Amino acid sequence: MKKKILALLYLAVFYLTSCISQENPPIIETPDQSKFSTSIIVDGIEIPWGMDFITENDLLVTEKKGILYRVKNGEKSEVSGLPEIYQRGQGGLLDVALHPDFDNNKLIYFTASVHVEGDKGGNTALYCGELNANELSNVKLLYKGTPNTKKGQHWGSRIVFDDQGHLFFGIGDRGNRDVNPQDLKRDGGKIYRLNLDGSIPEDNPFFQEDEAIKAVYSYGHRNPQGMTIHPKTGEIWENEHGPKGGDEINIIKKGKNYGWPVITYGINYSGTSITDKKSMPGMEQPFYYWVPSIAPSGMAFSSSGVYRKWKGNLFIGSLKFKYLERLIIKRGKVVKREKILNDIGRVRNVKEGPDGFLYLGVEGKGILKVIVNR
């Protein structure tokens, strides 16, 4: 009898707490953290926003306030030749990515907040340039969002490539959610697709539409700060910050509308409602959404098998709760979520290195390699 009452009590407590927290399932688990450790690849970087690997021991790291580092065997040197960065709010020097044929052409791409011309303020831009040793030359502006604005929020932006000669990058809604994301004639709240030389593919979804911005690939985004290619399917996976609640994982498809701010699982920071709609015909549902928000940044699949049980799992940084989130996906659904390296610091970026290990950009620290002790 006592046991029964106890069991009922447990159930009641469990039910009540799950009601109060209203966490979107699966509820995150915290496994034994003593299995996980890190080794420091490079330290002394305030906000390591983006990174890419030339080799296992030679990588490029962006520092948000406007420094590009080349890190060789743990020693960092500043790369010269960057354009002037407009550091404001969440903006600054953002992602960096090697051209798929970097070994031969030495080209790199990067996204940054810039004020090039026109109105006060800035917007997100995509550049490419040639990297020789620690020097960037022939820097070209490939795309710049307009108009400039002094708003500090939602610049995006990650860079990924498909295997058909395209580059994808995002620009957030630039703090103008009711104007930008749903308007194809305006920049902001979009994922863009370009050819590697910066030209616009003629088969882009809105290429034939008058007045539409022809580089747009998908729209209705809030602030995409994680993007990666699925190692098996080749799909573009993206994560973006929601408002209070409603951070999302999306699979980016050509011409689709991801709904911000018409539909969302989040509410205003003040607690007031943005919309009562969570779905609408013609708008994509997220693959997964977080309530409460974790503030996701960076995204990588573990494809290598160097971590025994993590192959095929998705890894995303949490800025807000300072851990690396592991998501196990089965049959098109997130079935399990785990905290890895709890309290490591604000995880800004996640990448799988050439050696198959996961590397994190952690704010106030630098680049850390993730190690699982056996």
Partner 1 sequence: MKITLGFIGLCVLFEGLWLYQNKSLEQSISDGSEIYQDFCLQCHLDNGQGVSGVFPPLAKSDYLLKNIDLSIKGIKYGLQGPIVVNGEDYNGLMQNQGLDDEEIADVMNYILNNWGNKSQEMITLERVANITE
Binding stretches for partner 1 (CB under 8 A): 46-47, 64-65, 86-89, 91, 151-153, 175, 269-271, 320, 322, 346, 363-364
Q: Which is nearer to partner 1, 218 or 318 (CB)?
A: 318
Q: Which is nearer to partner 1, 150 or 277 (CB)?
A: 150
Instruction: Report the alpha-carbon distance of residue 260 to residue 266 in Å, rounded.
Output: 10
Q: How far is the CB of 106 from partner 1 (least distance, A)?
A: 31
Inter-residue contact 108 to 95 (CB < 8 Å): no
What is the Cα 72 distance to its own chain's centre? 25
Q: In the beta sheet, which residues pair with residue 17?
A: none
Q: How far is the CB of 268 from partner 1 (least distance, A)?
A: 9
Instruction: Report the alpha-carbon distance of residue 156 to residue 12 in Å, rounded.
Output: 42
And the tokens for 70? 């080349």
Q: Is 241 a catalytic residue?
A: no
Q: Which is nearer to partner 1, 76 or 99 (CB)?
A: 76
> What angle (nearest 5°) sits at the alpha carbon of residue 302, between those of residues 59 and 327?
125
Q: How far is the CB of 4 from partner 1 (least distance, A)?
A: 38
Instruction: Report the alpha-carbon distance of residue 194 to residue 217 in Å, rounded.
Output: 9
Q: Exposed (0-12), middle (13-18) or buried (19+): which is 3, by Cβ within 10 Å?
A: exposed
Q: Which is nearer to partner 1, 353 or 361 (CB)?
A: 361
State the DSSP code for 57.
T
Q: How far is the CB of 61 from partner 1 (least distance, A)?
A: 16
DSSP readout, 64-112?
TTTEEEEEETTEEEEPB-PPPP---TT-SEEEEEE-TTHHHH-EEEEEE
Q: Which is nearer to partner 1, 205 or 361 (CB)?
A: 361
Q: Which is nearer to partner 1, 46 or 58 (CB)?
A: 46
Instruction: Report the alpha-carbon distance of residue 89 to residue 151 in Å, rounded.
Output: 8
State the DSSP code for 303.
-
Q: How far is the CB of 89 from partner 1 (least distance, A)?
A: 5
Which of 154, 221, 230, 241 does the annotation list as catalytic? 154
Rg of the chain (C-alpha set): 21
Q: How far is the CB of 114 from partner 1 (least distance, A)?
A: 12
DSSP readout, 260-284?
TTTS-S-B-TTS--S-S-S--TTSP
Residue positions annotated with a catalytic role: 154
